[in-house]
Amino acid sequence: MKGWVYIISNASLPGLIKIGYSMKDPDMRAAELNHTGVPHRYVVEYEILIENPSDVEARLHKEFSNYHEGKEWFRTQPEQAIKTIKEIYGTSIINEWYKKTKPESVENLIKGSRQNPDETKDVEQSFYNISTDINTMTEEEYNHHKEITIKIFQSRIKEALPGFWYYFLSFFAGLGIGPLFMFFLFPDFSSSNFSLYTLWIFGGVATCALSVWIRKATVKRTIAREQGVVLTSLSDHYDRVRYNS
């Protein structure tokens, strides 16, 4: 029987996600939870339509058993849970919907784990296993987790930046589009110091540079936002340690 497996979060529960299943629209399930008295609304991060959703839920709960906080709540990031779902059930998923979580953040995580499996495993173990030693984490361990987390996100920025072919294609695309901008900026180019040939080349280079700059800025902003979410959750862990000590 077909049904939905979903990931739900709530701003009142930072660092926690709910992994569950439903035979009805997960948005309806989130709406039901909104009557439980928390100050923020429950939000569906991601959902899939799949056969035997209860079995899928049980398998995922087993996969994340080390991060279990209670009932169907787990201390992990939505991207990590989605990555696991896609790795285990990728070919069995009938349909999927990204709601709050951005698909590119999941793809970056998958890409990073493929290209740097050892480093990614180190980060995942280092960060996501904090819940197992939450009552004994020292300031030195906190700084170590933080350093590794920053390191992996910086490596993902490098991996996601444009390569040679992007520059190559952007330049030739700029040769076609760039002169239009240059004609707009220099409508009287024939009476200026720019020859038509110079204007054409300069327009191509300028358009290529603008395209690359926009791409780099977008990549850095997206990954920096993901890094901020992870470091905030890590800080919450450490605050709990200090509060309990």
Q: What is the pLDDT of residue 134?
A: 47
Q: What is the pLDDT of residue 221?
A: 78
Q: Rounded to an integer, what distance in angstroms lies between the CA atom of residue 21 and that of residue 5?
A: 4
70: left (phi over 0), alpha (psi -120 to 50) or beta: left
Lowest pLDDT segment from 7-11, 130-134, 204-208:
130-134
Q: Average of pLDDT values for 152-163?
A: 67
> Which residue type occupies 245?
S
Structure confidence at residue 32 as a pLDDT band (50, 70, 90): confident
* Residue with tokens 């920025």, as numbered in its chain: 157
76: helix, strand or coil: coil
Q: Indicate the pTM of the whole model.
A: 0.53
Under 8 Å between Cβ of 20 and 64: no
- pLDDT of residue 148 exceeding 90: no
The alpha carbon of residue 101 and the mean position of all alpha carbons in its chain are separated, in whole angstroms, by 7
φ, ψ of residue 70 to 5 degrees: the values are: 145, 140
* Residue with tokens 């480093």, as numbered in its chain: 119
SS (H, E, C) 129-194: CHHHHCCCCCHHHHHHHHHHHHHHHHHHHHHHCCCHHHHHHHHHHHHHHHHHHHHHHCCCHHHCCC
Q: Rounded to an integer, what distance in angstroms lies between the CA atom of residue 205 and that of residue 200?
A: 9
Q: What is the pLDDT of residue 206?
A: 74
Q: What is the DSSP letter of 8?
A: E
Q: Average of pLDDT values for 101-111?
A: 80
